[in-house]
Structure 1
Amino acid sequence: MNKPILLFCLFWAMTIFNSSAKDGYKLWLDYSPIKDASKASELNNLLNGVYFFGENPTYEVIRNELKQAGDGMLNMQPTFVSERLEAANLLLGSREQMSQLLGLDTQTEILKLGEDGYWRGPLEFEGKHYYAIIGNRPVGILYGVYDWLKSIQSNTFNKGTQHSDSPKIKIRMLNHWDNLDRTVERGYAGFSIWDWHKLPGYIDPRYIEYARANASIGINAVSLTNVNANARILTTDFMKKAKVLADLFRPYGIKVYLTARFSAPMEIGGLETADPLDPEVIAFWKKKTDEMYSFIPDFGGYLVKANSEGQPGPHEYGRNHAEGANMLADALAPHRGILIWRAFVYSHEIDEDRHKQANSEFEPLDGKFRENVIIQVKNGAIDFQPREPFHPLFGAVKETNLGMEFQITQEYLGQATQLVFLAPMWEEVLRSRTFRPTPNSTVAGIIDGSDSKQNLTLMAGVSNIGTDRNWTGHLFGQANWFAFGRQAWNPYLSSKEIAEEWIKLTFGQNQEILSTIEEIMLESHEAAVNYMTPLGLHHIMGRSHHYGPGPWVEGGRADWTSLYYHKADEEGIGFDRTSTGSSALSQYASQIAARWSDPNQIPEKLLLWFHHLPWDFKLRSGRSLWDEIALHYDKGVKTARKMKSDWESLESQIDPERFVHVDQLLAIQVQEAEWWRNACLLYFQTFSKRPFPQEIEQPEGDLDYYKSLSFPTAPGIRPQW
């Protein structure tokens, strides 16, 4: 019996006979026993006397969390005291409730933290010392409790020090691309967790676990349904179902949003038009929205995809995006609801570089959107590629609320078979300088309002969650869910900080485990870029399923083919977006356009995104472009192999069930990295007519074989609308 099968059998046997076997279901909230006796005693003392100032549904959530933490870490249940303050050790309450216990400086500090912020630290009152967690409202206290518990899990808690924090972005949202039939577009972890058929009568316990996980990392909004929307979600029957979820999530500080299909007035309203300026259409949306708030008083609002990839929108009626968005925003405004309008718009009927289309649509409309409208912009202008330059809209729009849209699910990054930690990619985008509105402005500063001065801020992430037992298919997909929440809370956190935090919460304190896994995670994204799309190549994956390489894809819509993007020929490779090509660079600030227009000055990681260059073009290494492409592909494969060998070095220190799970997937990742390298290099060699560099492992296989592969059962394929 070979090693992987043997280990799998061992894992299966342990799962059967050990109900506490680790399978990833508890995510980063697996409150493992505390081994340090002094730390255990300290926590035991605090939990033996927990005092709440007042009653609130969120306080019940906190009680339950403390019970789970006490049971897991100490095998004990907390003692809650409600009458005698002197019997308490841990105080939980709002700033107002605890004002008689606080000094003026602390009150002022907490007040500055806003609705979701918290303060925690030591207090002295009438000669007794307490530890307190305080917020301006109950959800702030909840966030403080989760932060405190994480500090205990990661062995960083110090009872004598103060700590305060608050989110830099107001709306921190998961976008579920879940369909009403429970399929998930670009979902690689099973079916949708929303069982619409059984709602509202049956409440899956998983909904509460989902809410706990999100609240623990600061996510406070969720769009339940696919942006390729189904109007039925806005019917009364589905409002009743959505209400159940909204009621469950409310104590965790999470608001529910729904996707609105622009043609809903015709599909469920019986109207002959969906023209946003038609009085009957306006009345339909007002009535429908009022009905929604009658079921969900704190309904967050609508998320809309319009006039892109076949979705209906205002263009059908000669109206622009502002007119379409404002009509819906006006229906939401009396309820203080938010309209989120996606900027992902492009059409093959427009003879224009797809990179330019969203900017061309929205920049002229700057300042024409209502105050309760947010334009949700993907991190790059094409479509969640392994690496993209930041979207030019982040530097072009001055008077409109802009939000960020990242993709947590790995549509173009190996789906659920590859370990690719996405925080470094997001960090790269967030720290990019836009040079507008100020020379030091960054993308993070635009979306958190510090540079843009916008008051309504948003970071959204396309969910990677499904019904798989471990939620995300790949165990390390959990790290991307976690990282998104942490970066939405604070877009200035580093990838290294986030990786360390997740590893400690997931695998414990062992230094060898921490350093090894951290290295694997932090090198994984660059490795994937290297073996998939190095030096600015993009959109060269398989058609429809987006699984694996497909640089030869052609036919049909040009902007859905690979040839449209890499433009390889005997002269060279790459997309010319300078003034001699599509001029997409002109949409960026002049400082960026001037530097990136020069192939010798542009960061080489973006070289072929903006330039079509000859195969013998010399890079800074002194090597030719062809040789560097080959070297990058080969380096990606070698890094993937190193990731697997590094993981295998931890076999004796990680529980068998999680070790085997990741080890098998890393073996697949190595195979897929080799597949990408071989297929792409053999294909591009048909144009370059050059030999592969001697220092690389020579690509194997037959190009025709790679081109013949098909994947009709690949998960997450978009349904036919």
Structure 2
Amino acid sequence: MNFKKTIVFALFILLTFNSSAQEGYDLWLDYKKINELEYKEKVSSYFSNIELIGNSSTIAAIREELQIAKAGFEFKNHKSGTSNKLIIGTHNNLPVSVKGEIKTDSLGDEGYSIIALEKGETLVITGNSDIALLYGTFGLLREIQQRNNISNLEIEEEPKIQKRVLNHWDNLDRTVERGYAGFSIWDWHHLPGLIKPEYKDYARANASIGINGTVLTNVNANSLVLTPQYIDKVKALAKVFRPYGIQVYLTARFSAPMETGDLETADPLNKEVREWWKNKADEIYAEIPDFGGFLVKANSEGQPGPNNYGRSHVDGANMLAEAVAPHDGIIMWRAFVYSEDDPDDRAKQAFSEFVPFDGKFADNVLIQVKNGPIDFQPREPFHPMFGAMPNTPLMMEFQITQEYLGFSSHLVFLPQLFEETLKEDTYANGENSTVAKIIDGTLPNRELTGMAGVANIGTAKNWTGHPFGQANWYGFGRLAWDPYMKAREIAREWLRLTFSNDEDFVQPMTDLLIDSREAVVNYMTPLGLHHIMATGHHYGPGPWVDNLSRPEWNPVYYHNADKKGIGFDRTTSGSDALSQYAKPIEEKYDSPETTPEKYLLWFHHLPWDYEMKNGKTLWTNLALHYQMGVDQVKEMLSTWKKMEQYVNEQEFEKVRMLLEIQLKEAKWWRNACLSYFQKFSDMELPAGVPEPEHSLEYYKSLEFPYAPGISPSWN
């Protein structure tokens, strides 16, 4: 290559890199140039003298990540005589001179230690496995990205949850159910031959936040993925992910023995069926020895399951658990079940179906429970199952993709929602029996623990559609690693890694992120309202929908608005769903006066003129909350407009335009919902709440047949 061509090629690489950063592809791993000269000089000296011990594929991944970071930070090469040194190695392999000063006995297989020795001249990353070293390396880079002093570090971290998993609702045709960032990143047609660079970058991003598993396919499963042709494709992805500590999982369609195995039944107690699943597990593990296991959605929303044969969820889950147990595999069995044939409150049905089987599931079964008893709403009380199954490992399921929160059009910082759920007290074992303690195995003591997040990732150049959707992916990973982290801490961290360390940016934007979730609750479902989104696509308001084939698919089922009032009575005078919670909660929430107002209409049907704590009527408060949500989005937009100097032009403009959309749609929500509910309340809008711009019939006439994420198989 001649000199001219070399210059052209270099410019091409530089422009490509800059374009990638501009569009957000690098996520929180955008190792920006360090301009603080004194800090840069000190930190770069460690990178000039690195002792990386080992030769595994994970060690190679660490070496590559350090090189990427070194180039991004623009560290210069110091002379070989520099005194500072960075040592990375498992504890068994550390040099004798430093080995005795560090203990890793309590760190398990994934925990790491970063410690400065010899007055800061030697920095050591260690642990008990190469994967621990990878996590520690990302931990160190996170410190550097935030410009923290690394010469006096003394960090010791281990994950509090064992299985930290992304659930992809991706179909084999590359559509993504409830996906708002384009198509699936898994190019099944070209696998296993074509390995796209995105696969490796996906693994890097997940490893950097401690995610160690990925379910590649939709919970509305396709049995084709269990055939040899597709197992070969999954094997190729597993090979890419393995150096980054990420296991692959697949969804198992319960009827697969009939659809791909020529059996006439999928009865879990049938000998041939059990043998089919054992053989299938053996086949998969022969190709993918570290395969994680299966995620199963059964007897829910039309999906086949053990109930089809008069069998229980225990029968189905334990059959699959038996098949993967010899390979140390697990079964994640979803508790998201409700039936059109069950007239009971939908919020009660999962509890009723699963709690009687507490303690009867196999040891390698995790029951995967959504954070709330309905379906990933902007706000729900925690699922009562978390306080009622002490003898069964329960796995939290959060939704990172914003199915009910404005898709990728709206800025909503979901770690605030996640934290709210995790710190709720279940009273399962007395006071301070938080949801976090249930799922991390503290209450009761157990080893198999898990947290799942429904991914918001697609083929969008920035992975998530909305630039701030990345914060929800990031925040999920951080909370899966440590469910006691605070959302505010995560927000600050992500902002500093992704955009800027300038406090004039970080502080106002942290406040914006923390307030954003409450804003969406206010302009969509305030005071405990829930599931009043438009039908099918769940985009925009639809509180008037009452014509769907199943009652629990209709928003009117949930808000029960009439001339007398609004809300769902879940006390003893109604569905009695409240009795599924521990006594302290049941007693507190039984009265509207002592129920937290954020859950008021979740548990109570109240008159429109019911006087609330501020002395104003329920109707007035409802209307003011809708207006508050609109005002909060206005404030978000105003704040963002002041941040232009801290972000690149492309991302600034994209977020600005999306916030304009969000403001427009917040007003739509306010106007449509208040127009509809006002016909029942027959009360005037309070001062400060404008009259709707259009008639109720106009709002009811709006249709969105091609809204993204639509699927006939709802989740």
Q: Normalising TM by the smaller chain, what interval? A: over 0.9
Mapping 1:75-86, distance limit 5 Å: 76=76
Give the Cα–Cα distance (whole angstroms) in 2 for the partners of residues 711 and 601 of structure 1: 40
Which residue matches 2:10? none
Q: Note if 1:161 corresponds to 2:157.
A: no
Give the Cα–Cα distance (whole angstroms) in 2 for the partners of residues 18 and 378 of structure 1: 39
Give the Cα–Cα distance (whole angstroms) in 1 for the partners of residues 559 and 628 of structure 2: 21
Which residue matches 2:361? 369
Give the Cα–Cα distance (whole angstroms) in 1 for the partners of residues 191 and 539 of structure 2: 33
Give the Cα–Cα distance (whole angstroms) in 1 for the partners of residues 672 and 342 of structure 2: 32
Which residue matches 1:531? 523
Q: Note if 1:90 corresponds to 2:86.
A: yes
Which residue matches 1:669? 662
Q: Note if 1:440 corresponds to 2:432.
A: yes
Mapping 1:264-283, distance limit 5 Å: 264-283=256-275
Give the Cα–Cα distance (whole angstroms) in 2 for the partners of residues 467 and 493 of structure 1: 30
Name the amino acid aligned to 2:24.
G
Give the Cα–Cα distance (whole angstroms) in 2 for the partners of residues 622 and 411 of structure 1: 35
Indicate conservation of the 8 Å contact 1:431/1:444, yes or no. yes
Q: Note if 1:621 corresponds to 2:594.
A: no
1:651 Cα offset (Å): 2.2
Name the amino acid aligned to 2:666.
A
Give the Cα–Cα distance (whole angstroms) in 1 for the partners of residues 488 and 21 of structure 2: 28
Indicate conservation of the 8 Å contact 1:346/1:354, yes or no. yes
1:509 Cα offset (Å): 1.1
Deviation track 1:615-651 (CA, whole Å, cap 9, x = no partner) reads: 0111101100000000000000010111001101122
Indicate conservation of the 8 Å contact 1:21/1:657, yes or no. no
Q: Note if 1:100 corresponds to 2:96.
A: yes
Which residue matches 2:117? 123
Name the amino acid aligned to 2:318.
N
Mapping 1:291-690, distance limit 5 Å: 291-555=283-547, 556-690=549-683
Give the Cα–Cα distance (whole angstroms) in 2 for the partners of residues 19 and 700 of structure 1: 41
Which residue matches 1:64? 64
Give the Cα–Cα distance (whole angstroms) in 2 for the partners of residues 178 and 521 of structure 1: 28
1:655 Cα offset (Å): 1.7
Deviation track 1:290-327 (CA, whole Å, cap 9, x = no partner) reads: 00001100000000000000000000111000010000
Indicate conservation of the 8 Å contact 1:533/1:540, yes or no. yes
More deviation in 409-418 or 95-104?
Answer: 95-104
Which residue matches 1:6? none
1:28 Cα offset (Å): 0.4
Q: Note if 1:716 corresponds to 2:709.
A: yes
Indicate conservation of the 8 Å contact 1:66/1:78, yes or no. no
1:696 Cα offset (Å): 2.2
Name the amino acid aligned to 1:114.
G
Which residue matches 1:170? 162
Change (3 A) 1:222 1:78: farther
Which residue matches 2:11? none
Helix, strand or coil at the partner of 2:467? coil
Give the Cα–Cα distance (whole angstroms) in 1 for the partners of residues 19 and 518 of structure 2: 38
Which residue matches 2:34? 34
1:98 Cα offset (Å): 1.4
Which residue matches 1:3? none
Name the amino acid aligned to 2:39.
K
Give the Cα–Cα distance (whole angstroms) in 2 for the partners of residues 63 and 719 of structure 1: 46
Helix, strand or coil at the partner of 1:96? helix
Name the amino acid aligned to 1:657.
Q
Runs of 4+ in 1 over 4 A off after TM superposition: 14-21, 75-79
Helix, strand or coil at the partner of 1:559? helix
Give the Cα–Cα distance (whole angstroms) in 2 for the partners of residues 469 and 169 of structure 1: 31
Name the amino acid aligned to 2:526.
P
1:123 Cα offset (Å): 2.8
Indicate conservation of the 8 Å contact 1:465/1:471, yes or no. yes
Helix, strand or coil at the partner of 1:406? strand
Indicate conservation of the 8 Å contact 1:637/1:673, yes or no. yes
Give the Cα–Cα distance (whole angstroms) in 2 for the partners of residues 75 and 164 of structure 1: 26
Give the Cα–Cα distance (whole angstroms) in 2 for the partners of residues 587 and 115 of structure 1: 38
More deviation in 270-279 or 34-43?
Answer: 34-43
Indicate conservation of the 8 Å contact 1:343/1:358, yes or no. yes
1:55 Cα offset (Å): 1.2
Change (3 A) 1:20 1:405: closer
1:671 Cα offset (Å): 0.3
Change (3 A) 1:480 1:77: farther
Q: Note if 1:202 corresponds to 2:194.
A: yes
1:50 Cα offset (Å): 1.1
Out of 139, 146, 154, the position equivalent to 1:147 is: 139
1:161 Cα offset (Å): 2.8
Give the Cα–Cα distance (whole angstroms) in 2 for the partners of residues 95 and 15 of structure 1: 41
In structure 1, runs of 5+ residues without a counterpart are 1-13
Deviation track 1:79-129 (CA, whole Å, cap 9, x = no partner) reads: 9x9xx9x9881111001111723465622xx210111100011234xx994
Indicate conservation of the 8 Å contact 1:189/1:464, yes or no. yes
Q: Number of paired residues?
A: 700
Name the amino acid aligned to 2:564.
E
1:670 Cα offset (Å): 0.1
Give the Cα–Cα distance (whole angstroms) in 2 for the partners of residues 510 and 565 of structure 1: 45
1:653 Cα offset (Å): 3.3
Out of 107, 120, 123, the position equivalent to 1:113 is: 107
Indicate conservation of the 8 Å contact 2:296/2:332, yes or no. yes
Name the amino acid aligned to 2:675.
L
Give the Cα–Cα distance (whole angstroms) in 1 for the partners of residues 299 and 471 of structure 2: 33
Which residue matches 1:25? 25
The TM-score, its normalising length taken from structure 2, stands at: 0.96
Give the Cα–Cα distance (whole angstroms) in 2 for the partners of residues 44 and 207 of structure 1: 29
Helix, strand or coil at the partner of 1:164? strand
Which residue matches 2:277? 285
Deviation track 1:507-536 (CA, whole Å, cap 9, x = no partner) reads: 111111111211111110000000000000
Q: Note if 1:699 corresponds to 2:695.
A: no
Deviation track 1:573-609 (CA, whole Å, cap 9, x = no partner) reads: 0000000000000000000000001100010000000
Change (3 A) 1:670 1:320: same
Indicate conservation of the 8 Å contact 1:94/1:138, yes or no. yes
Out of 225, 229, 233, the position equivalent to 1:237 is: 229
1:672 Cα offset (Å): 0.3
Name the amino acid aligned to 2:480.
A
1:455 Cα offset (Å): 1.2
Change (3 A) 1:215 1:712: same
Which residue matches 2:4? none
Give the Cα–Cα distance (whole angstroms) in 2 for the partners of residues 652 and 245 of structure 1: 40
Change (3 A) 1:76 1:274: farther
Name the amino acid aligned to 2:422.
L
Name the amino acid aligned to 2:573.
T
Helix, strand or coil at the partner of 1:416? helix
RMSD: 1.8
Name the amino acid aligned to 1:392.
P
More deviation in 646-655 or 247-256?
Answer: 646-655
Give the Cα–Cα distance (whole angstroms) in 2 for the partners of residues 565 and 18 of structure 1: 49
Give the Cα–Cα distance (whole angstroms) in 2 for the partners of residues 20 and 296 of structure 1: 33
Indicate conservation of the 8 Å contact 2:268/2:315, yes or no. yes
Name the amino acid aligned to 1:120.
I
Give the Cα–Cα distance (whole angstroms) in 2 for the partners of residues 123 and 360 of structure 1: 56
